[in-house]
């Protein structure tokens, strides 16, 4: 299966998941969303770009903490739920939700944002080239000194190697496609950035172990 075909299948899969399970992850932010908000606040961040926001629990947390947020996702159903929830919670004035495929160039001028955030997005049905190009776009739209925090599943994950191997460290298991990161890919994505830290953490929601990477433009 080609990456383009896999991505199209995954888009449909997530549309159906969000449609059949409204706000499936709830409204409480992820642990990494809470961490990111604290990092961003300490850095004096005002405007955040979230990639792969889904129905937006972390974007809603950022907006509730007083940040201005642009939340993007390739699921129209997720974006609709996020927009509705932001209005219901009274943070719609701080949050703009936009349909965006991360494989396409970001429709924002250079140095638009103070920070960017992506929880597990880069471990979705993306080729290594897709991931590198997406991170380059994040670098472009961040201001100098801007923080980028992302989480990914990695090759030490217990589920790495299970399911169907489609190449490029991409595996499909129970309809979910996962790109598992290795250390070399993290280091490659940090070229041209300052790599602040890489942490391993347990995520009981997935469940698996993740890497959380913080880097600065």
Q: List, in order, residues 6 or more apart from 187 with CB less than 8 Å away.
A: 195
Condensed to tens digits (0 to 9), the pLDDT of residues 105-132 reads 999 999 999 999 999 999 999 999 999 9
Condensed to tens digits (0 to 9), the pLDDT of residues 18-59 reads 777 777 676 899 999 999 999 999 999 999 999 999 989 999
pLDDT given for residue 116 in this prediction: 98
pLDDT given for residue 158 in this prediction: 87
Condensed to tens digits (0 to 9), the pLDDT of residues 62-74 reads 999 999 999 999 9
In the chain, what are the domains? 3-155+168-216 (3.40.50.150)
pLDDT given for residue 19 in this prediction: 78
pLDDT level of residue 154 (50, 70, 90 thresholds): very high
Per-residue pLDDT, averaged over 84-90, amounts to 95
Q: How many CB atoms lie within 10 A of CB 194?
A: 11
pTM above 0.75, yes or no: yes
Q: What is the mean pLDDT of the chain?
A: 91
Backbone angles phi, psi at 2, to 5 degrees: -75, 150
């Amino acid at each position: 299966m080609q990456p383009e075909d896999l991505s199209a299948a995954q888009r449909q899969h997530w549309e159906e998941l969000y449609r059949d399970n409204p706000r499936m992850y709830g409204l409480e932010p992820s642990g990494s969303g809470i961490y990111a908000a604290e990092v961003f606040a300490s850095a004096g961040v005002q405007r955040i770009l979230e990639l792969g926001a889904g129905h937006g629990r972390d974007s809603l947390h950022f907006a509730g903490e007083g940040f201005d947020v642009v939340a993007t996702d390739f699921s129209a159903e997720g974006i609709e739920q996020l927009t509705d929830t932001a209005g219901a919670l009274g943070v719609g004035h701080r949050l703009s939700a936009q349909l965006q495929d991360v494989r396409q160039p970001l429709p924002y001028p250079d140095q638009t944002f103070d920070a960017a955030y992506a929880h597990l997005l880069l471990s979705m049905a993306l080729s290594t080239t897709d991931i590198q190009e997406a991170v380059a776009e994040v670098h472009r739209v961040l201001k100098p000194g801007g923080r980028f925090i992302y989480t990914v599943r990695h090759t030490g994950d217990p589920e790495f190697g299970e399911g169907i191997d489609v190449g490029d460290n991409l595996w499909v298991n129970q309809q979910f496609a996962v790109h598992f990161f290795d250390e070399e890919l993290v280091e490659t994505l940090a070229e041209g950035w300052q790599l602040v830290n890489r942490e391993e953490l347990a995520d009981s929601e997935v469940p698996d172990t993740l890497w959380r990477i913080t880097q600065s433009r």
